[in-house]
Structure 1
Amino acid sequence: MSTAPASVETAAADAPPPGTSQLSIAVQFTLAGVVWGASFLFMKVALGGISPAQVAWSRLILGALALGLFVLMRREALPRSLRIWGHMTVLAVSFCVVPFLLFSWAQQHVTSGLASIYNATTPIMTAIMAGLLFRVEKLKPLQIAGIGLGIAGVIVIIGPWQGLDLSQSLVAQLAILGATACYGFSLAYMRKFVSNTGMSALMFSFLNIGIAAAIMAVLTPVLVLTPVRLNPWIVVSVVLLGCLGTGIAYIWNQNAVRAWGPTRASTVTYITPLVGVVLGALILGERLSWNEPVGALVVFLGILLAQDRLRRVRRNDEGTDAVASVPSRSR
């Protein structure tokens, strides 16, 4: 992802589906992380025959269709509140349309592994937006230090000592950071405006993806009507990216959120870069510079501090419940 779990606190409070075992939840959690990590590979392959806009269009349309089938199977009713539809439209643009377009464009110029590493900056962006823009959290000094450390990690990944010539690669890296900033904005926006809507996790995901798909459908004449060159690998990549990465994986993640809580479920953030880097190296022959994984480790440490994870671990060890937070996206 370029994907990230789309969950809110009310969804996290729902009970997991009846009869769901802890083993089943663990499998779904792992599968979501693997699929979202593989999404960067799927995008890279798809870009070999279709445009970035067509990649974003396809994944949203297919994801909406997949989620829509589950909504029909569960016979869930759409919300009637115009306020909810308004907020979900904002999220559709900021959480799906814009970042999906940015990621697709950027992956023309950077490796899939590097894109997956940058995607892991989403929790840092979320902490910045939640604490400074929407003020839904009061940042502690240690969290501010974590944000600073995360930014330092990004600088290490960019590697300015190698020279900044404003090439497409650097612009693409900044575009990915713009996409994760959109994710951070959206997650903080969810917390402030849609945390008490009463929607199920499935309905929330369907509206988020479905409205975004409708927006892309309206923009079809402007963005999508360009020539394509398809082969079996491109078709399979697009279908998997849409139906799995932008569809079913959301349901798996939401089941984990409801069973484990958003804080624990958000650790999927640590799976996706590993999967993205490994698949990029094994299948596409991509190589990473030494500074990219080193910078990623610095970012992960910054995430631990920014999300106050270290304090929560200590409190859990002492028998105190951890405070739940909105998880970070990793589609």
Structure 2
Amino acid sequence: MKTDRQGVTGAGVAWMATLALLWGSSFLWIKLALRGFNPVQITFGRLLLGFLVLAPIVMFRGLRFPRDGRTWGHLFMAALVANAIPYFLFGLGEQTVGSNVAGVLNATTPLWTLLLAFLVGVDPNVTATKAVGFAVGFLGVVVIFSPWESAAEIASWGGLACLAASASYGLSYVYMGRYLTGRGISPLVLSASQLGAATILLALAMPFAGLDAPEWRWDAVGSLLVLGALGTGIAYVLNYRIIQDEGPTAASVVTYLLPIVAVILGWAVLREAITVAILAGVVLVLGGVILSKRTRSGVRSKEVAE
């Protein structure tokens, strides 16, 4: 794996832009898929499609899926907090809030990751810069929610669901960093295995929560296909490729582009309003993330889930 000492290559920039577009557009595809499917059905569909994309790649490369029960136990737990819960919560949240808002709230994931890593002792060092970063980032969340506006749609259960989804992502990075990564298993195998485990979890939940008859609209079906095959499957492959070719620091830059992509697409496709609160929230959240990942010397701290 490269260490980011050299500049990002032209191909790397192209891969990063593509990944930002795939992940940043996921919130738009969720919004469109909700026109025909409920959140449980969307979550199951995107997980299954993502797994069907990754599994053949793993086998084609001659890689092996884990065989011991302990690893699979950790994979199922990671699948619950990294896929099943947040995917469902974003679908649930976007029933009442815009895709742009969901994308902006998703940007709080690194803040949750660092906060939870501190609480469980994975990253016990809290500098003044990190503390300021936390404060600035969560101030951005308050601005986005604008609780002083009684009619604000974001200050609702939908907005809270999206925020909870981001916290679940943060928990998953800490969990995977402690129990799954750095154990000699290919990230591609981990990704495929985790999506497979999450698909099983959603299949078990479908009889209880996914009984609503779907409406097979072309826009909903197409959005679900793109969300699953591209935004969940191919995006994992691209992320793995960027980390391998350009290094983890370069790959992490994509995180800062996702809310920008989500806001622009929400406005361009769905005519979702771009308010002052959303723009200010984006700036504060991303500023907080940047600050919270810096050490005293100004160098970015190591990613928890690297």
Normalising by the smaller structure, the TM-score range is over 0.9
| Counterpart code for 1:258 | Q
Counting aligned pairs with the same residue, the percent is 33
CA displacement 1:234-256 (0-9 Å, x = unmatched): 11100000001110101101111
Please say if 1:88 is aligned against 2:66: no
Please say if 1:61 is aligned against 2:48: yes
Distance in 2 of aligned mates of 1:99 and 1:201: 20
Calculate the TM-score normalised by the size of structure 2: 0.92
Of residues 97, 118, 124 in structure 2, which corresponds to 1:131? 118
Distance in 2 of aligned mates of 1:280 and 1:309: 35
Cα 1:78–1:143, aligned 2, differ >3 Å: closer, same or farther? same
Of residues 302, 307, 320 in structure 1, which corresponds to 2:288? 302
Q: Which residue of 1 aligns with 2:168?
A: 182
Q: Which structure 2 residue ranges, 5 or more long, are not aligned?
A: none
SS at 1:286 equivalent: coil
CA displacement 1:209-252 (0-9 Å, x = unmatched): 11101111222211223211112211110000000111010110
Q: Which residue of 2 aligns with 1:222?
A: 208
CA displacement 1:175-203 (0-9 Å, x = unmatched): 11111110111111122222322111210
Is this contact kept in 2: 1:136–1:188, CA < 8 A? Answer: no
Of residues 288, 291, 302 in structure 2, which corresponds to 1:324? 302
Cα 1:256–1:266, aligned 2, differ >3 Å: closer, same or farther? same
CA displacement 1:32-76 (0-9 Å, x = unmatched): 110111111101011011111111111011111111121121121
| Counterpart code for 1:158 | F
Q: Bigger CA drift: 100-109 or 76-85? A: 76-85
Is this contact kept in 2: 1:153–1:297, CA < 8 A? Answer: yes
**Displacement after TM superposition at 1:323 (Å):** 5.1
**Displacement after TM superposition at 1:164 (Å):** 7.2
**Displacement after TM superposition at 1:261 (Å):** 2.5
Of residues 264, 267, 286 in structure 2, which corresponds to 1:278? 264
Distance in 2 of aligned mates of 1:74 and 1:206: 13
**Displacement after TM superposition at 1:171 (Å):** 1.2
Within 5 Å, which residues of 2 pair with 1:191-230? 191-230=177-216
| Counterpart code for 1:113 | N
Cα 1:261–1:327, aligned 2, differ >3 Å: closer, same or farther? farther
Distance in 2 of aligned mates of 1:287 and 1:275: 14
Q: Which structure 1 residue ranges, 5 or more long, are not aligned?
A: 1-12, 16-20, 314-321
Distance in 1 of aligned mates of 2:174 and 2:112: 9
CA displacement 1:251-278 (0-9 Å, x = unmatched): 1011111223223211111111111111
**Displacement after TM superposition at 1:81 (Å):** 2.7
Distance in 2 of aligned mates of 1:40 and 1:310: 35
Is this contact kept in 1: 2:293–2:301, CA < 8 A? Answer: no
Cα 1:51–1:168, aligned 2, differ >3 Å: closer, same or farther? farther
SS at 1:49 equivalent: coil
| Counterpart code for 1:28 | W
Cα 1:192–1:139, aligned 2, differ >3 Å: closer, same or farther? farther
Calculate the TM-score normalised by the size of structure 1: 0.86
